[in-house]
Amino acid sequence: MAISGLLFAGRFGNQMDYFLGTLSFAKELNRTLVLAPWVEYHMRQPKSIQVPFDEYFRVDKVAKYHPAITMETFMGEIAPKIWPPSKRISFCYQQRQAYGEPPTDPCAAKNGNPPGPFWDTYGIDFVSSELHSPLSYDLWNVAGEAERWRRRYPPHRWPVLAFAGSPASYPVLEVNAGLQRHFQWSEAVRERARQLRRRLLPAAPFVGVHLRLGSDWERACAHTRQATGNMFSSAQCLGYRQQHGRLTERLCYPDWPTVARQMRRAARHTRAPAVYVATDAPERLDSLRRELRGHEQEFELVTWQPAEPGRPADAHAELALLARANLFIGNCVSSFSAVVFRERDALGLPSAFWAFPEDSESESESDRDADPARPGRDEL
């Protein structure tokens, strides 16, 4: 008796948030979770690419917390028995606006890209839709909601709940953030991270940082000027009720003096001879190098260098690498940084954020040096 859902919204970090919420949703309803593939967009590919869940994470670690199987296993071994083509119904809260879809499909589950390619990858077509309104995905803040789901959709009548979108919220709810500990990198990703470390970093402590620098992110951060609450993943440092601070543009897109100052401080605290920088815009790092001029002897600035010319950065290996740095500095607003922060939090490893807290920038250098960061675990 399973739950499946399309987790296509946004990049990897956003999809990770949806996975955490969907795992919790399945557990509350006591249904096996069908682990959807990761949706990726490759250059010169007109349609989205579906990457099996277990290419990046271990299924057995998720299943140890709650029964879970991959989409490939479900469609190959279980769907033919309990979910034949004539019984495939898509679930959504209310009717969706669709372009070119017949009126018999209110959920428009296969409309557009990536929904169409997602379901087509597994040869899935839907015969009808089920609108589950007023039932919501929030089973933690709405009293009795899980029991209402179970009564309305008993497993013996509805063996599969296939959602047109993820049955979870973005950003991840506070109650579900800790589930990151059940998402452990596959051995293939861990090995790529080990190779990355051996190839680019000295055999010594290192600081790992994430700098979101792309022009699209810069434009998004401009919206913080009008924001009154959290944005994207900013609750990871500000708190879900902003009890630890307020959102600022500098928190989202820090200036170079702030970045350079925090890097130097982190390298001193951890006695790290190198700082690894994961970024979406490596061409902008020249500004950082100019800001660090005169301090080149303090540490080496390391960033992605392909083993083969022209290969793009391996984002998953970088995430695994950053998770085991002696100290990590991330972007408070970024869901990419949030993946690293949550994993490190589960491991008890120290993390920090750019320009946070605000008053820390007013401290003297000697005050900041007085409390060095605890070294993290070196192994991958």
| pLDDT, block means (10 residues), the chain with 380 residues | 68 95 96 95 88 98 97 96 96 78 76 92 95 95 94 96 93 97 98 97 98 96 94 98 96 97 97 97 95 91 82 93 98 98 98 88 41 49
Paired residues of 329 in beta bridges: 209, 352
What are the Cα distances from residue 214, in Å, to 132, 182, 303? Answer: 39, 30, 16
CB 350 within 8 A of CB 328: yes
Any alpha helices (H) in 165-298, and if so which ranges?
A: 187-200, 215-221, 235-238, 249-252, 256-270, 285-291
Residues of the chain with CATH 3.40.50.11350: 186-353
Burial class of residue 348 in the structure, from the number of CB atoms within 10 Å of its CB (0-12 exposed, 13-18 middle, 19+ buried): exposed
pLDDT at 362: 46
Structure tokens at 32: 């096996």
State how far Cα 69 lies from the chain centre.
20
pLDDT at 177: 97
Domain made up of 186-353: CATH architecture: 3-Layer(aba) Sandwich (3.40)
Distance, CA of 262 to CA of 256 (rounded, Å): 10
Q: Give the residue carrying structure tokens 């390391």.
A: 302
The torsion angle over the Cα atoms of residues 331, 332, 338 and 343, rounded to 10 degrees, is 90
pLDDT at 97: 66
Q: How many CA atoms lie within 13 A of 31 on its CB side?
A: 27
- Crossing angle of the two packed helices 145-152 and 12-29, in degrees rounded to 10: 70
Residue type for position 359: D
CB-based contacts of 214, cutoff 8 Å, min separation 6 = 280, 281
CB 198 within 8 A of CB 69: no
pLDDT at 305: 80
pLDDT at 10: 76
pLDDT at 272: 98
| CATH tag, 2-174 | 3.40.50.11340
Residues of the chain with CATH 3.40.50.11340: 2-174
* Model pTM above 0.85: yes
pLDDT at 5: 67
CB 140 within 8 A of CB 25: no
Q: 49 φ, ψ to 5°?
A: -110, 135
Distance, CA of 92 to CA of 170 (rounded, Å): 16
The torsion angle over the Cα atoms of residues 210, 213, 219 and 221, rounded to 10 degrees, is 30
Structure tokens at 83: 């979910």
Structure tokens at 340: 């690293």
Neighbours of 76 (CB within 10 A): 11
Neighbours of 31 (CB within 10 A): 23
* Overall residue count recorded for the chain in this entry: 380
If phi over 0 gives left and psi between -120 and 50 gives alpha, with beta otherwise, what is residue 348? left
Distance, CA of 269 to CA of 290 (rounded, Å): 22
β-pairing, 38-40 vs 49-51, is antiparallel
3-class DSSP state for residue 361? helix
Structure tokens at 186: 């596959």
